[in-house]
Amino acid sequence: MPTHPSSQQVAITGLGVIGATGRGVAAMDQALAQGRDGLGRLDLWQCELAADFPVGQYRGNLDNDLREARPGTFAARGGDRLLQRMSRSDKLSMVAALEAVAQAGLTATALAEGRTGCYLGQSVCGTLQSEQAYAAYRGGARRRETLMALFQHEGANGPDHLADVLGLPGPALSFMTACSSGANAIGLAAEAIRRGEADIMLAGGGDSLSRIAFYGFCSLQVTSPDGPRPFDAARRGMSVGEGAGMVVLESAAHAAARGARPLAWLGGYGHSCDAHHLTAPHPEGHGALAAMRQAVSRAGLKLADIGYINAHGTATQDNDNTEALAVRTLFGENAVPISSVKRWFGHTLAASGAIEAAVCVRALQQGVLPLNLGLRELFAGAGVDVLREDRKAPGLRHVLSNSFGFGGNNAALVFSRAE
């Protein structure tokens, strides 16, 4: 167990993932083991750029996924009528949440009668549905037929739906710090447990593809026609993705009392905002450095204890340069293995830190570090140990996960192996 300075240790007892690799942690594990990315052609709407820039799109049927995931619970809270009020982002988050709760072995009674809540990181929210409603209205649809978008657009809908379907009586909050949203939601949920405000928190992030997100990143000229190649010398940018990652967090005492076995411990959380530029990180990595240092310190660990770093690694020029510099500055000669998993999922925006939290937990459980898919030649001066292939690490005990967002919003999480 990590030696966090707080008296409340936080266990992870459930994981849920959905995205370009498919639905569920098992699908993610299989894709990572096979070195098979989930990138493909965008087909959620007709798009002239679809052939030019691959995306990390979820190809399954979300409505069917929800009906199958926890049918009794979902049907009792509205079923098909509720589906009409949920955005694509909401549905992605709900599927991941239901998987995490099921793995944690939490019953409806335990959730409803305990001190439970949910924190959700978001960015796109219901924008895809709002875009569709606007296009329909401009195309002549009656106003009444487009009003449903009002029930789907708001960011507050996501945590509200989770609280309603799962019967969570505690706080239900949405966090929007761009691409660090999911990581911040997890870190802040853990802090709520440490302060004694909750025993169980469902936390993570979810975002769907949308026109404004896809075209926006294309207009910034940070999307790549051949997909992301994090830390590669010839990297050309990111691929926009969608998905969700959710974790069940519990105080160590609560997990032990109900006989739940932790999958891992969430030992430390760090957050900073360097506010250098609207989209670019500080060139010297000040904010990233501060978040990483804080996370390791709060976990009660030394830098030498960290055995793997899951990088934000978007494959954009500025991000990879800055992150490598910050890691090199913090860890010095201690070359910690590092990799980015953006090639598998695309950049899932607010969901990225939450999906990558699941990747980190699985690395601790399996003792295997995931390769940095897409790397051909490390860029000159990187000075970090980027994983060119999967690496067995049976003694892996502590990992650090980075999530850096627009506006300089930086988050870092430290996960530790459950003995």
pLDDT per residue as tens digits for the range 16-69: 999 999 999 999 999 999 999 999 999 999 999 999 999 999 999 999 999 887
Last residue within a domain, chosen from 211, 242, 264: 264
The values of phi and psi at residue 272, to 5°, are -150, 165
Task: Judge if 163 and 301 occupy the same domain.
Answer: no
Residue 117: is its pLDDT beyond 80?
Answer: yes
* Domain harbouring 232, CATH code: 3.40.47.10
Asked whether residue 1 is domain-assigned, the answer is no
Q: List the catalytic residue out of 4, 161, 286, 312.
A: 312
- Assess whether 84 and 162 both reside in one domain: yes
Q: Would you say residue 207 lies in a domain?
A: yes
**Mean pLDDT score of the chain:** 92
pLDDT of residue 180: 96
Residues 213 and 276 in one domain: no
pLDDT band of residue 83 (cuts 50, 70, 90) is confident
* 4, part of any domain: no
pLDDT over 90 (residue 253): yes
Which amino acid belongs to residue 160? Answer: D
Domain co-membership, 297 together with 199: no
Residues 35 and 180 in one domain: yes
Compute φ and ψ for 42, nearest 5 degrees: -70, 130
pLDDT 10s digits, 129-140: 888 888 877 777
pLDDT digits (tens, 9 = 90+) for 304-352: 999 999 999 999 999 999 999 999 999 987 789 999 999 999 999 999 9
The band of 145, judged by pLDDT with boundaries at 50, 70 and 90, is low
Tell me, yes or no, whether 253 and 308 share the same domain.
no
Confidence of residue 73 (pLDDT cuts 50, 70, 90): low
The identity of residue 150, as a single letter, is: L
* Top-confidence range, 104-113, 279-288, 328-337, 342-351: 342-351
- The last residue of a domain, from among 219, 237, 264: 264
Pairing of strands 308-310, 337-339: parallel
In a domain, 302, yes or no: yes
Structure tokens at 110: 């335990």
Q: What is the mean pLDDT of residues 349-360?
A: 98
d(CA 419, CA 417): 6
Number of domains in the chain: 2
Query: Residue 146 has what pLDDT?
Result: 65
pLDDT greater than 60 at residue 354: yes
Check whether residue 255 and residue 311 sit in a common domain: no
Lowest mean per-residue pLDDT among 7-16, 230-239, 253-262: 7-16
Cα separations in angstroms, 352 against 19, 320, 419: 10, 16, 27
Specify whether 118 is catalytic.
no
pLDDT of residue 293: 97
Q: Are 286 and 352 in the same domain?
A: yes
* Cβ atoms of residues 339 and 387 within 8 Å: yes
- Same structural domain, 308 and 252: no
| pLDDT level of residue 230 (50, 70, 90 thresholds) | very high
- How much is the pLDDT for 144? 63
Q: Does 3 fall in a domain? A: no
Domain-ending residue, one of 245, 264, 283: 264
Number of CB atoms found within 10 A of residue 254's CB:
21
- To the query of whether residue 312 is one of the catalytic residues in this protein, the response is yes
Range of the domain at 255: 10-264
Res 281 pLDDT > 90: no
Average pLDDT over residues 282-306: 93
Does 286 lie in the same domain as 259?
no
> 254 catalytic, yes or no?
no
Q: Is 408 left (phi over 0), alpha (psi -120 to 50) or beta?
A: left
The per-residue pLDDT for 408 is: 80
| Dihedral, 92, 94, 97, 98 alpha carbons, nearest 10 | -120
> Is 385 inside a domain boundary?
yes
- Give the span between the Cα atoms of 37 and 346, in whole angstroms: 9
Mark whether 169 and 206 lie in a shared domain: yes
Residue 239 has a pLDDT of 98
Residue 5 is predicted with a pLDDT of: 44
From the list 118, 179, 271, 286, the catalytic residue is: 179
Q: Model-level pTM?
A: 0.95
pLDDT band of 1, cuts 50, 70, 90: low
Active-site residue identified among 118, 347, 360, 398: 347
Q: Which residues contact 400 (CB under 8 A, 6 or more apart)?
A: 292, 295, 296, 306, 308, 309, 310, 336, 412, 413, 414
Q: Is residue 360 part of a domain?
A: yes
Q: Is 2 inside a domain boundary? A: no
> Which of these ranges, 208-212, 252-256, 278-282, 329-333, has the smallest mean pLDDT?
278-282
Q: Give residue for tokens 């959905």.
A: 18
Looking at the structure, tell me whether residues 213 and 322 fall in a common domain.
no
Q: What percent of the chain has pLDDT above 70?
A: 92
pLDDT above 70 for 3: no
Q: Residue 6 has what pLDDT?
A: 45
Give the mean pLDDT of 355-360: 98
Chain segment 173-214, per-residue pLDDT in tens: 999 999 999 999 999 999 999 999 999 999 999 999 999 999
